[in-house]
Amino acid sequence: MLTNTKGQSKRRVKNPARVPKKHRTVGSRIIEGLEEAIAWTRGENNDVRVTLVHVPKVNVREVRTSMGLSQAQFATKFGFPPATLRNWEQGRSRPDAPTRVLLAVIAKHPEAVEDVLRKAS
């Protein structure tokens, strides 16, 4: 506070341009993002940034056989349940998007996945 010439105190007003913005919490940013996503799906907000990722289609049997592995060996090496691997190969089910990404990496760079799994155990 400052004191004027008449002995009265007055408050110093901060310059609005210099007032730091209140830090937003992680939670508030998440909520804001969810609200934007909901608005976007309703067609209400076209100003949001949308990142689309192409998730590759992967022929699991082709990946496995190109590595010269049996279903049991492939499943054990990369941590897939053998029954799930059989279902994928026989078309009874499909790997979800993150698993297809992992399978695509295994197809191109199996040594990288093996290295990560080896270090994790």
pLDDT digits 0-9 by tens, 80-97: 999 999 999 999 999 999
Q: Identify the pLDDT of residue 66.
A: 96
Q: Which residue has the higher pLDDT, 41 or 66?
A: 66
Both tokens of residue 114? 């093996």
- The one-letter amino acid code at 55 reads V
Q: Identify the pLDDT of residue 100.
A: 95
DSSP 59: -
Length of the chain: 121
Superfamily for domain range 60-120: lambda repressor-like DNA-binding domains (1.10.260.40)
